[in-house]
Amino acid sequence: MADLILLPGKERSVLRRHPWIFAGSVARLEGRARPGDTVIVKDAQGTPLARAAWSPSSQIRARVWSFDPDLSVDHAWFKRAVAASVARRAAHPWLAGQDGVRLIHGESDGLPGVIADRYGEVVVVQLTSAGSDKWRDAIVAGLAQATGCRAVYERSDSDVRKLEGLEPVTGLVHGALPDAPLTIVEHGVRMEVDVAAGHKTGFYLDQRDNRRLTGQLAADRDVLNCFCYTGGFSLQALAGGARSVLSIDSSGPALATAARNVALNPQLDAARAEWREDDVFQALRALRAEGRRFDLIILDPPKFAPSAAHAERAARAYKDINLLGLRLLKEGGILMTYSCSGGIGLELFQKIVAGAAADVGVDARILHRLCAAPDHPVGLAVPEGEYLKGLACQVS
């Protein structure tokens, strides 16, 4: 096994159990390693610190599997790590019994570059690093064994693989997919999940509990759901007794799934739902021109800032939609606004929303601070893992 020798002082973040070793921290590699191979991380004096996956084409040159440098990282180690992550979900009362659950959340679950989401009988796995790609068989075997699911489907088609020099990989890797469309029940609402062609691994599980809160706030309200995807927030609002729900997304296929989701839930009053295929920025201006106003507005846009480098342009886009949204709120109305950009921190996001409210000339207060559901934990050593943040603000 090759040794990765750190520059003097660069052992500090490893000692704090941060799993990323950046190119600028590496003095040299002693020995030979191919992409994804396990290397022993040593400080400048040669003291072993950790075992990590070597990733020569990425700026994150190595990702730590184990902070015990003597522990062998093999098939059995992966099976144990996967089983432990799955068991943590089963033990949490909000997650136990859920159909749609994130089983492995990468670095924060001690498995850098590994995402696994369970949708009923199917697990979708996404491998985004050279190390996780190399251990595909062990990870898939571990998931199949720990969950007893009938299929594992791979969706390693995220753009971040390019940074690791990896091609996209998708397809069935274990068992057989069910013939009928896959559905899950989330807080009483049935939703279709397309694991092959849906966004990410098929669904946005991170918003599960925020969707429930939306349902609880929706009774007798006129609701506007922007960036609705397959209608998760909209259906919870209908279930919560909303008077009307207008949902907007630019994706025709997502809206077609949303329509099927309404049909899957005969308990909901479909006549209260209106769907628009449109660009949200334009649609919000058009709604203002139409004189429409709402009691509850959800803004859950895509990642405008994939990294801190995009933060400035993204901040303008966030300010724009929040400003446009706030203008459509009735007095006493609530704005539920989100950012899933890692490059925009909570403090900055709150400033952006405050700036939008000031420009519109409304007073607003935060009722709820929102984050991802507990199957998307944030490792205390890996604050970068915190990406989803939201505010529920009431205006007067």
Instruction: Give the total of residues touching ligand SAH (CB under 6 A).
Output: 17
Which range of residues in 84-92, 175-183, 245-253, 387-395 is near ligand SAH by CB under 6 A? 245-253
Which range of residues in 41-49, 238-246, 247-255, 386-394 is near ligand SAH by CB under 6 A? 247-255
Q: How far is the CB of 98 from ligand SAH (least distance, A)?
A: 15
Contact between 201 and ligand SAH by CB under 6 A: the answer reads no
Q: How far is the CB of 316 from ligand SAH (least distance, A)?
A: 14
Q: How far is the CB of 207 from ligand SAH (least distance, A)?
A: 4
Alpha carbons 235 and 245: distance in angstroms, whole number: 9
* Interacting positions 83-142 with ligand SAH (CB under 6 A): none
Q: Which of 54, 204, 294, 318 binds ligand SAH (CB under 6 A)?
A: 204
The interface mask with ligand SAH, positions 268-297, x = CB under 6 A, is: -----------xxx----------------
Candidates 149, 226, 228, 340; catalytic one = 340
Contact between 213 and ligand SAH by CB under 6 A: the answer reads no
Contact 367, 394 (CB under 8 A): yes
Q: Which of 54, 78, 233, 349 binds ligand SAH (CB under 6 A)?
A: 233
Contact between 302 and ligand SAH by CB under 6 A: the answer reads yes
Alpha carbons 159 and 156: distance in angstroms, whole number: 9
Q: Which of 251, 256, 320, 330 binds ligand SAH (CB under 6 A)?
A: 251
Which range of residues in 102-110, 111-119, 228-236, 346-354 is near ligand SAH by CB under 6 A? 228-236
Alpha carbons 328 and 257: distance in angstroms, whole number: 27
Which range of residues in 113-121, 123-131, 230-238, 284-292 is near ligand SAH by CB under 6 A? 230-238
Judged by beta carbon, residue 279 or residue 331, the one nearer ligand SAH is 279
Judged by beta carbon, residue 67 or residue 233, the one nearer ligand SAH is 233
Q: Is 340 a catalytic residue?
A: yes
Phi-psi region of 375 (alpha: psi -120 to 50; beta: other; left: phi over 0): alpha
Contact between 300 and ligand SAH by CB under 6 A: the answer reads yes
Contact between 158 and ligand SAH by CB under 6 A: the answer reads no
Contact between 250 and ligand SAH by CB under 6 A: the answer reads yes
Judged by beta carbon, residue 251 or residue 350, the one nearer ligand SAH is 251
Q: Is 76 exposed, middle or buried (0-12, 13-18, 19+ CB in 10 A)?
A: exposed
Q: How far is the CB of 325 from ligand SAH (least distance, A)?
A: 13
Which range of residues in 25-33, 116-124, 244-252, 310-318 is near ligand SAH by CB under 6 A? 244-252
- Bridge partners of 392, per DSSP, are 336, 368
Which range of residues in 24-32, 129-137, 166-174, 243-251 is near ligand SAH by CB under 6 A? 243-251
Contact between 254 and ligand SAH by CB under 6 A: the answer reads yes
**Can you give the three-state secondary structure of the chain, one letter per residue?**
CCEEEECCCCCHHHHCCCCEEEHHHEEEEECCCCCCCEEEEECCCCCEEEEEEECCCCCEEEEEEECCCCCCCCHHHHHHHHHHHHHHHHCCCCCCCCCEEEEEEHHHHCCCCEEEEEECCEEEEEECCHHHHHCHHHHHHHHHHHHCCCEEEEEECCCHHHHCCCCCEEEEEEECCCCCCCEEEECCEEEECCCCCCCCCCCCHHHHHHHHHHHHHCCCCEEEEECCCCCHHHHHHHHCCCCEEEEEECCHHHHHHHHHHHHCCCCCCHHHEEEEECCHHHHHHHHHHHCCCEEEEEECCCCCCCCHHHHHHHHHHHHHHHHHHHHCEEEEEEEEEEECCCCCCHHHHHHHHHHHHHHHCCCEEEEEEEECCCCCCCCCCCHHHCCCEEEEEEEC
Q: How far is the CB of 85 from ligand SAH (least distance, A)?
A: 23
Residues forming contacts to ligand SAH in the complex (CB under 6 A) are 204, 207, 227-230, 232-233, 249-251, 254, 279-281, 300, 302
Tell me the catalytic residues: 340
